[in-house]
Structure 1
Amino acid sequence: MIMTRKTGHIALVGAGPGALDLLTLRAHSRIKDADVVLYDRLVDPAIVDLARTGAERIYVGKEVGRCAWPQGRIDRLIVAKAKLGLRVVRLKSGDPSVFGRACEEIAAARAAGIEVEIVPGVTAASAAAASIATPLTERGETDSLILTTGTARPGDAAPDRARLAYPGTSMAFYMAVQRAAEVQADLLAAGAPAACPVDIVERASTPSERHVQTTLGQLSQSIAEQGVQNPAILFIRYPKSLAAALSGAARIIAA
């Protein structure tokens, strides 16, 4: 992609889940070349420090349920900086395209006629699964992978989680710790077995990472007992073998 200093350039860069060595080479290059870096709350300071001396660093962090920097303000700022002919890096934790509000920032850049690119990063679900040596999919057991969120935008309808509760599905819930009881109730009501295995990975790929194993039936209780906090990924698996075992048991009981 050709970058011109006359109109500037905006790169939405994935910083990965936390660990510096999970940063991609392209992300590293964009950060080093940036004139301005706008970074999120969960981005490791060591990654921000890769920016060259003299580059402007602007913290635009958000938290679940709180918004110190309204999205519209961020959109206006990245456009204003790019209009000065600057190379702007919007540094986001994980991957910009996964619950990263990339659509709003891309739309703002395009509306202003500014060149924009996405530099993908390692999303939290991938890093969390790798850290506990549990593949996201398993042949013959979970052949569908769903990345979803536990937190809807204010005013939006709650997610239809009944559509997720099918055998052969592996679910990764982002921003769901505070909504775990709702997620649990919705999936159980939709027919997902209480025995579905659950892995909770808190602060994946960081020194303070923590792993909690439980079941769907014990999900909210385990979170409360273990004091799990965001950021965390909730993995809920509905293996085909579990569905088959329960179906077989039901047939035996009915016989």
Structure 2
Amino acid sequence: MSLASNQSTAIQVSEVSVLLGAITAVDQVSLKISSGKWTSIIGPNGAGKSTLLRVFAGLIQGSFQTSIFEQDMRQLSAKSRAKLISWLGQSEAINGDMSVYDLVMLGRLPHQSWIGSPSQQDHLAVLDALRQVQADGWINRSVDELSGGERQRVLIARALAVDAQILMMDEPLNNLDPPHQADCLNLIKGLVNSNKTIITVLHEISFALHSDEIVIMDQGRVINQNSSQDLGLHRDIEKVFDQRIKIYPLMDDFVVLFN
């Protein structure tokens, strides 16, 4: 039985505070992230969104406690954590001398021994991940030849190749054109339907409103956490963006307009 089995909470943090230099990036945050759901973290620039996501991933640790499927993150080995959590950082630098296929294969490292060669399962996982982002025709291309949007799709494929129970992505829409943003939305919904837990940091409010839950942050604190359909949450989103946006219902969806 996997660590994730029968758990309703994927990530839980208690009393998290993080200082970056003289700045309190996260200030006394306690919350739970639901398992098998898509949660988006939104808020203005400097709200602490990316820092909190790094806490969730175990990339920032401190005196606070971070639990994954109700187990203390510190009790997990680095390899066990890497199998459970797949990570896509914001504007990641990558080696341009590497082929697309080799870059995505890096996502399979948690499943391999230190001296072992990739297994058939590893190769199948890489090809499937590339197929999901419509990049399976690029396997021999150098990463250095790719546009910004193409690189982002390959980085998403690397995250998918891990086949982790939790996928964390910081600004996954970076450099993606509208059709591929729509593809990303469909991809995330498909992962959730297969019981994966997705956590994204987003600036695109209209995109975030498709999440199951939204966490609003401002000045390092959580202002609200609720269903993306909750009207009170919508009013808090408008408030943290200084009433510069307005969220309106539109048939079975919502539209975000600028004031």
Comparing both structures, which one devotes a greater share of its residues to strand?
Answer: 2
TM-score (norm 1): 0.29
TM-score (norm 2): 0.28
